Chain A
């Protein structure tokens, strides 16, 4: 990494100063050349896992959810854990694309596109779980209010957070998809104008909607991007708040707490940044994009992980404190059971990954080492999966009367679906980095030009985002 002068006002987010044409060439390279061995290796594994998912899901739908390890005490387990996990993953993408846009954090420019793609794929994975958990997914439309109402006069219950979830997640998916696609249009036009093959020209021609770089369009386009960012920011906060209310509005000890919404949102951003880190390290190594996804980007992401990880750790402590301070018998027992009961290993794994691991990011050496970042980012993912497992399964397995207690043991099908859905996610992501411009070339160009200005004119600072 190049050494930066101490007084540099504008940090450099691309290594060296590539020309505009060079940026186009570099970013288009993964789509025009053949991907390296690493890509093929990852893709093979992902497709294999995807097949596992397809086979298990088919069997699940044919036999019913009895093939899972659910029982009377623990009626929600891996499925809802996976659902919350994947929704959480999605949040970092929106944070990077929308919130950092509003705060004018220029470092988002070379990572926002792939982070947004990650959001969309993660929400697709998440959406799968409520559908599978229904047992009869072909009746999924029962959860929507529709006209004419064919179930007698009965409507969906709008007081239920589960119904809010349906609206929140479908809105989130739609808005994320539209935001992502809107951002892609100028780059699709670049690909159209570079395309040599007839098919490529045709496909990119249709997708780019006749974009011609007119400034009048750019001007409106930027305003609409800001509007979408402004809408997506409260939206993303609402989505995980509503997911947390699925739990918080119930009376189960361990779920019935008011800190759930902010706690879930912080956890979501934490886990999502963990996933962004994993994906971007894989991407920059497999597609040779070290120049645009710099160590500086990884460093910034590690700082976000440190912040959100600390918030998550603080929330864990708060939960224990209020259980002790609140003097509710069941709530108290739940937290004693969380730390000393049969699932204590899951609790300590979660503390190790979510409370202790991010504290490593205080050290610059750690933030600078791609290998350590990669390993710790995977630990973040594991930790956050277990956090949801602890919240869901540990709360349910010993709630209230001991006669209603039980244990949850996953079956092979629980595990197959958990693993298989990673196949779906990575297959989609790998196809995306192979066939679409995964770095927002036009945004990087804007930053590169401003960067050159600052370098040329010293600290005049006349150019802003």
Chain B
């Protein structure tokens, strides 16, 4: 368990200002909690761009391979059937299903990866830093500095940035 400070803000401007300032003053911003995605926070928080698109690519290629293997095996190798004199390996006719399976695998794979990465699963108990987060509260979570002097400085900084409330709590970070 680590000690944290939860500062809430009434709007996105104050929140963004506080995040930038806190990071400039070398406080450790753990995360920010908002009711909707706030633009500009990625840069303010210094969040790295997610690598999830690579997962999509990988899953889509898996889907593509599955489609090629499935159609090739069934219609060319296992039991070639003459339908209207078309060639066994009617590559063009196999394209639609190659496309559909790539999309299917890519889409499901990306969502699965997102849920795994964000550790979201049905029935998980949400850790809410403030009950209003999913309504209209913006909150910044900072690690509570261990020495009193820095702690006082943090409180002063948060107040200066327009925090509506600052509370101390404990969390598994």
Contacts and interface: CB of A to CB of B under 8 A. Distances in A.
Interface stretch (B1-9, B90-98, B142-150, B157-165): B90-98
Interface in A349-369: none
Contacts, number: 200
Given A145-B70, A210-B126, A215 B100 contact: no
Contacts of B124: 209-210
B80 to A, nearest CB: 10
Contacts of B127: 210, 212
Given A186-B134, A215-B33, A231 B50 contact: no
Given A205-B125, A207-B122, A155 B79 contact: yes
A245 to B, nearest CB: 8
A206 interface: yes
B33 A213 contact: yes
Contacts of A174: 104, 107-108
A228 B37 contact: no
Interface stretch (A72-80, A337-345, A440-448): A440-448
A159 interface: yes
B108 A212 contact: no
B20 to A, nearest CB: 14
B111 interface: yes
Contact of B35 (A182, A207, A213, A227): A213
Nearest to B81: A157
Interface residues of A, number: 67
Contacts of B17: none
Contacts of B34: 213, 215, 218
Interface string B125-158: 1111101111110000000000000000000000
B136 A19 contact: yes
A4 interface: no
Contacts of B107: 174-175, 178-179, 227-228, 231-232
Given A159-B93, A190-B134, A209-B122, A175 B110 contact: no
Contact of B52 (A19, A210, A227, A235): A227
A178 B108 contact: yes
B133 to A, nearest CB: 4
Interface in B53-92: 53, 56, 70-71, 74-75, 78-79, 81, 83, 86, 90
A403 interface: no
A197 interface: no
21 contacts: A20-B135, A24-B136, A156-B74, A159-B86, A171-B104, A174-B107, A175-B103, A182-B114, A186-B36, A209-B115, A209-B123, A212-B127, A213-B133, A213-B134, A218-B38, A223-B53, A224-B111, A224-B113, A227-B53, A227-B107, A445-B36
Contacts of A155: 74-75, 78-79, 81
A229 to B, nearest CB: 10
Contact of B79 (A153, A190, A221, A443): A153
Q: Which 7 A-B pairs have the closest CB atoms?
A: A210-B124, A20-B136, A155-B74, A209-B120, A159-B93, A218-B37, A190-B134
Contacts of A235: 100, 103
A280 to B, nearest CB: 22
B72 to A, nearest CB: 9
A234 B108 contact: no
Nearest to B131: A193
B70 A20 contact: no
Nearest to B105: A171
A234 B50 CA distance: 23
A171 B100 contact: yes
Given A167-B101, A213-B34, A218-B34, A231 B106 contact: yes
Nearest to B90: A159
B97 A164 contact: yes
Contacts of A222: 37
A150 interface: no
A239 to B, nearest CB: 9
Contacts of B47: 215-216, 219
B18 to A, nearest CB: 13
Contact of A206 (B38, B71, B123): B123
